[in-house]
């Protein structure tokens, strides 16, 4: 490690002359700005500079141009470091992104013409409201600007309202069976495995935006795992704990439906848990899973991904010590890490809206879910850090889960993989890598538009939704697949339900009661999603 750091330092030193040239270039740009001859313009989609004052007023125009020239210089320097092979480049890009975003003139009251106008128009009330919002967030939101108005949505009333019942519960999770919406259903049921990070109901948002609602409308028997929000006494829960719960859920679903097999779909980190189950079944000859799907899941973390900004030993060590000392890794800590990967959209946008403009944050369902965080048990958190740092799931036998050495090539059931074009957490090239790692000869890859979560809550009714389909997944590299793929209008949900129908057996009469005749434990959305734990 010391040798790598020394080599990196050497690469950085060799780039000093080039960085000096970029600084000179910045001064040239600033001279052009001062003389009024600069061609620099904000990007048409950059909402920060949408106020016409940035174009019409010479002072503000120069201010914006100077800021954008500085940002461009920073980008050119990091591009130089990229070409030089600097290993700490993700961390440098992360730090540079935070700095350039934080120092945007739109983030300060006196240099934001829209905020000044609003203060004048409201007689100063916007300033008072903004200070009130800031004080409230300082006390109640860890000094971060709120992304959604508190109390705008209630789980079970506005969100997570698809009809169903809890058919099983243990200390780790509940199993929810959803009420069929059609007279006939596919005989092989589907288990949805959400990530242990966050509540499951991003997959059951308001009607019309619910993945679950859509699945049951397409004749799929749909079941959902609802993870318990762990506390300090659950510090020992790890991937094996969650994997064992998935295995138990599969048996509970088989008992409730009489089906010999179950299909599974794992979302994000839920796909990591799912992969340990598939690996275990392949290792032991188990055949209770018929087909498997992965949505925005990375099995191989090696690559120039934004999340690698946190991959240095100091950051990982600190995170590991924090969760070990408390038994859990807190929701706010986890949320902040993800938020700062996109500071313009997820921090300063709300800073300006809430504090400078003195407006309430928007009432948007997915933002309400994002603010409703959960904790991670210390052991699972530590294992995720190991996956993130060393990527053992990309190898063969480098780690063991559920008592079996992990080797993705042993997974030979039909596999469906989904990625998202602008995903900043699990970039689509990394999700495509799963098609190359699994050993199945029946592999489908679908690439959705939008980002990490936005792609998952992208219903067919969204006129802006689109996705790419193509053949040869796993046999060609990611860029070749993309070049040959065909763009489709609509949502990848449609493609997944078609694939599921092909791998879910015949149509049979829908069950008239949930739980296979056994007493249910309460109506959906269940108790765990609302932290109602005895």
Query: Could you tell me whether strands 289-295 and 415-420 are parallel, antiparallel, or unpaired per DSSP bridges?
Result: parallel
CB distance 265 to 193 below 8 Å: yes
Instruction: List the beta strands (DSSP E) in 103-220.
Output: 164-169, 173-178, 184-186, 190-193
d(C-alpha 304, C-alpha 301), whole Å: 9
Nearest Cα neighbor of 415 from 499, 358, 335, 298 is: 499
Residue 530, exposed/middle/buried by CB under 10 A (0-12, 13-18, 19+)? middle
Is residue 425 classed as helix, strand or coil in its secondary structure?
A: coil
- In b/e form, how buried is each residue of 77-111, taking b as 16+ CB within 10 angstroms? bbeebeeeebebbbbbbbebbeebbeebbbbeeeb
CB distance 130 to 118 below 8 Å: no
Q: Which residues contact 518 (CB under 8 A, 6 or more apart)?
A: 167, 256
268 is catalytic: yes
∠ Cα 164 168 174 (to 5°): 75
Phi first, then psi, for residue 377 (nearest 5°) are: -60, 150
Nearest Cα neighbor of 206 from 30, 89, 365 is: 365
Instruction: List the beta strands (DSSP E) in 296-394.
Output: 328-329, 376-377
∠ Cα 294 298 302 (to 5°): 155
Q: DSSP letters along 245-265, please?
A: HHHHHHHHHHHHH--S-EEEE
Is residue 167 classed as helix, strand or coil in its secondary structure?
A: strand
Q: DSSP letters along 56-111, please?
A: H-HHHHHHHHHHHHHHHHHHHHHHHHHHTT-TTHHHHHHHHHHHHHHT-GGGSGGG
Helix or strand run (H / E) with residue 294:
strand 289-295
CB distance 439 to 412 below 8 Å: yes
Q: How far is CA 213 from CA 62, 179, 221, 399, in A?
A: 51, 10, 11, 37
Whole-number CA gyration radius for the chain: 25
Q: How far is CA 11 from CA 39, 206, 311, 330, 373, in A?
A: 33, 51, 19, 37, 40
Q: Which of 172, 220, 268, 387 is catalytic?
A: 268
135, β-bridge pairs: none
d(C-alpha 269, C-alpha 444), whole Å: 20
Q: Which residues contact 328 (CB under 8 A, 6 or more apart)?
A: 230, 231, 232, 234, 235, 375, 376, 377, 378, 381
Report the catalytic residues: 268
């Amino acid at each position: 490690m010391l040798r790598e750091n020394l080599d990196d330092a050497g690469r950085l030193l060799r780039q000093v002359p080039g960085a000096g040239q970029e600084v000179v270039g910045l001064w040239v740009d600033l001279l052009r700005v001062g003389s009024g001859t600069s061609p620099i313009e904000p990007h048409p989609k950059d909402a920060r500079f949408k106020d016409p004052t940035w174009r019409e007023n010479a002072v503000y125009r120069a201010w914006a141009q100077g800021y954008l020239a500085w940002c461009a210089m920073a980008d050119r320097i990091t591009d130089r470091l990229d070409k030089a092979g600097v290993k700490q480049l993700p961390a440098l890009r992360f730090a540079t992104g935070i700095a350039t975003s934080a120092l945007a003139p739109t983030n300060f009251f006196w240099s934001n013409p829209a905020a000044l106008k609003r203060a004048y128009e409201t007689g100063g009330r916007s300033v008072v409201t903004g200070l009130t919002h800031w004080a409230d967030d300082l006390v109640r939101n860890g000094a971060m600007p709120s992304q959604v108005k508190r109390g705008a949505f209630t789980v079970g009333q506005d969100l997570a309202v698809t009809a169903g019942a809890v058919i099983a519960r243990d200390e780790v999770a509940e199993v929810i069976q959803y009420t069929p919406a059609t007279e006939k259903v596919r005989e092989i049921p589907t288990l949805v495995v959400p990530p242990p990070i966050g509540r499951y109901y991003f997959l059951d948002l308001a009607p019309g935006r619910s993945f679950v609602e859509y699945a049951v409308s397409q004749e799929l028997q749909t079941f959902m795992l609802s993870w318990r929000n762990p506390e300090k006494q659950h510090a020992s829960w790890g991937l094996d704990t969650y994997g064992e719960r998935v295995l138990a859920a599969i048996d509970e679903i088989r008992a409730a439906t009489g089906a010999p097999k179950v299909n599974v779909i794992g979302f994000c980190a839920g796909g990591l848990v799912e992969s340990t189950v598939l690996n275990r079944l392949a290792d032991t000859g188990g055949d209770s899973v018929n087909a498997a799907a992965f949505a925005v899941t990375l099995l191989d973390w090696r690559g120039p991904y934004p999340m690698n900004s946190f991959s240095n030993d100091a950051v990982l060590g600190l995170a590991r010590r924090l969760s070990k000392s408390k038994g859990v890794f807190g929701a706010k800590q986890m949320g902040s890490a993800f938020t700062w990967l996109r500071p313009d959209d997820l921090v300063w946008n709300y800073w300006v809206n809430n504090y400078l403009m003195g407006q309430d944050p928007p009432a948007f369902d997915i933002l309400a879910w994002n603010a409703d965080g959960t904790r991670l048990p210390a052991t699972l958190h530590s294992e995720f850090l190991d996956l993130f740092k060393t990527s053992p799931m990309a190898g063969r036998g480098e780690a063991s889960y559920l008592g079996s050495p992990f080797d993705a090539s042993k997974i030979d059931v039909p596999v469906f993989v989904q990625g998202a074009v602008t995903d900043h957490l699990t970039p689509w090239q990394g999700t495509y890598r799963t098609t190359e790692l699994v050993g199945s000869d029946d592999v489908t890859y679908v690439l959705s538009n939008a980002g990490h979560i936005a792609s998952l809550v992208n219903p067919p009714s969204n006129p802006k939704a689109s996705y790419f389909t193509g053949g040869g997944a796993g046999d060609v590299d990611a860029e070749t697949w993309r070049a040959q793929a065909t763009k489709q209008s609509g949502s990848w949900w449609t493609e997944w339900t078609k694939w599921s129908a092909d791998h879910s057996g015949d149509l049979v009469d829908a069950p008239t009661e949930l739980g296979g005749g056994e007493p249910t434990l309460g109506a959906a959305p269940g108790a765990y999603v609302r932290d109602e734990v005895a």
